[in-house]
Structure 1
Amino acid sequence: MQQATKIAPSILSADFAALGAEVAAVDAAGADYIHVDVMDGHFVPNITIGSSVVKALRPHSNKIFDVHLMISPVDLFIEDFANAGADIITIHPEAGPHFHRTLQLIRSLGKKAGISLNPGTPLEYVENVMDLVDLVLVMSVNPGFGGQKFIETQLDKISRLREMIDASGRQIDLQVDGGINLETAPRAVAAGADVLVAGTATFTGGPAKYAENIRALRGE
């Protein structure tokens, strides 16, 4: 059975000059997860933050830190992010030679493990690791930058993954990231998503608007 929709504001769209305050503000505004996009300028064409920033942000929120690693090779950095305070660590199957082993590593550190599928990555990658994943992230844009347009073909992927997750009998988040706004959010949820990553749609308007933005994304 599908869960109630959770909102995971992506701090990629926050004010980086006041990042701790921004995390605290979306926490207070009702965010379910704090989504942290980590990019290395190699796996994706952008550079964001490292584990030291995650560690510095950790005291500003008790919410789940949902850390999406867009870095390669990824295995070398898993333990750093686990120690920094990540609760969920999501990796791409293309970011290392043995992603089954990478998922095992994440879980061995006491963290929840996620797998992310780029728009061109087939969902079959998930089939043989369903027993290891706690979250499947569908990228509805090509990763690297915020503010991109939602790729419509990913709705079918979301629907098919919903069926796979339900059939597994396991409690697995189905997360969607990219181009999520008031128009695309309900469509992603209708397709089967239960966690929405939203950067621009959450942080638009400043802290006074965050709670309203989060409620609107939930359809409340």
Structure 2
Amino acid sequence: MEDAPVLIAPSLLSADLLDLRSELEAIETADWAHIDVMDGHYVPNLTFGPAMVAAVRRQGDLAADVHLMVTNPDECVGLYLDAGADVVSFHMEAARHPHRIVSQIHAAGAKAAVALNPGTPVGALEALLGELDMVLVMSVDPGFGGQSFIPSTLGKLRDLRRLCERVGAAPLVEVDGGVGDVNAADIVAAGADVLVAGSSVFGRPDRAAAVERLRRAGYLGRTGRA
């Protein structure tokens, strides 16, 4: 575990979309590009569709990490798989048949993840945990970028790790919301493997340096060594 890398997934919600090609080039040292899909119903904001996923996959080598914040993941997940998503997260709170969605994602050759809102306990995942490649723990209420990290998320991450150990599952754990180099070490120490960061990357003039700061902070959280 200590030797496993912490993955960095800059959120394109905070990028300059009029210059997407340059923004993707600026974060090419990251691991994934996080794509927030919001439908204006499950969350009040409205953002990206499958065309954005296809555009990211055409540009560079970053994996497309797609987060579906939609009321109908059962119906629309196939659109994002067809567009080339490498990782797909859907919300347990919105899914009618989560196991079926996970199976569909796996059949397409992608990684399957379930997202949990701040108010949803980790126990809601127990029956599905062994099927998942990743769990996305929301550390803000979904829908908007630039929110502050909810401190109780650290305890939730520890609870999730204990649950994984109890059921013998080993999914990656991704954290999204208010993540920056000032709290990344604590987040990783509590159990995170993947850090989603929006304004703490795209709000800095040097995107690559911002990615590296997050990576160093994640390494410190994992190993205790700067």
> TM (normalized to structure 1)?
0.93
Deviation, structure 1 residue 96: 2.2
Aligned residue for 1:138? 137
Which digits, 9 at most, give the CA deviation of each residue in 1:26-83, with x for residues without a partner?
A: 11xx101111110000001100010012112211121211100001111111111011
Question: How many residues end up aligned between the 2 structures?
Answer: 216
Residues 1:219 and 2:220 are matched in the alignment: no
Partner of 2:16: 15
User: Where does residue 221 of structure 2 map in the other structure?
Assistant: none
The equivalent of 1:72 in structure 2 is 71
1:24-103 map, 5 Å: 24-27=25-28, 30-103=29-102
Partners of 2:130 and 2:168 within 8 A in 1: no
Partner AA of 2:35 in structure 1: V
* Match of residue 191 from structure 1: 190
Deviations 1:84-141 (A, max 9, x none): 1100000001112221221122112221100001000110122111221101011000
Looking at structure 2, the residues matched to 159 and 187 of structure 1 have their Cα atoms a distance apart, in angstroms, of: 11
Corresponding residue for residue 5 of structure 1: 6
TM-score after normalising by structure 2: 0.90
For residues 143 and 45 of structure 2, the distance between their equivalents in structure 1, rounded to whole angstroms, comes to 6
User: 2:56–2:64: 8 Å Cα contact kept in structure 1?
Assistant: no
Counterpart of 1:110 in 2: which secondary structure? coil
Aligned 1:116-195 pairs, distance under 5 A: 116-195=115-194
% identical equivalent positions: 44
Could you tell me how far 1:167 is from its partner in structure 2? 4.7
Is 1:104 the counterpart of 2:103? The answer is: yes
In the alignment, structure 1 segments of 5+ residues that lack a partner are none
Q: State the alpha-carbon separation in 2 of the partners of residues 147 and 108 from structure 1.
A: 35
Shift of 1:171: 4.3
Moved more, 34-43 or 56-65: 56-65
Q: Quick check: 2:174–2:193 contact (8 Å CA) kept in 1?
A: yes
1:25–1:168 distance in 2 versus 1, CA, 3 Å: farther
Per the alignment, in what secondary structure is the counterpart of residue 79 of structure 2? helix
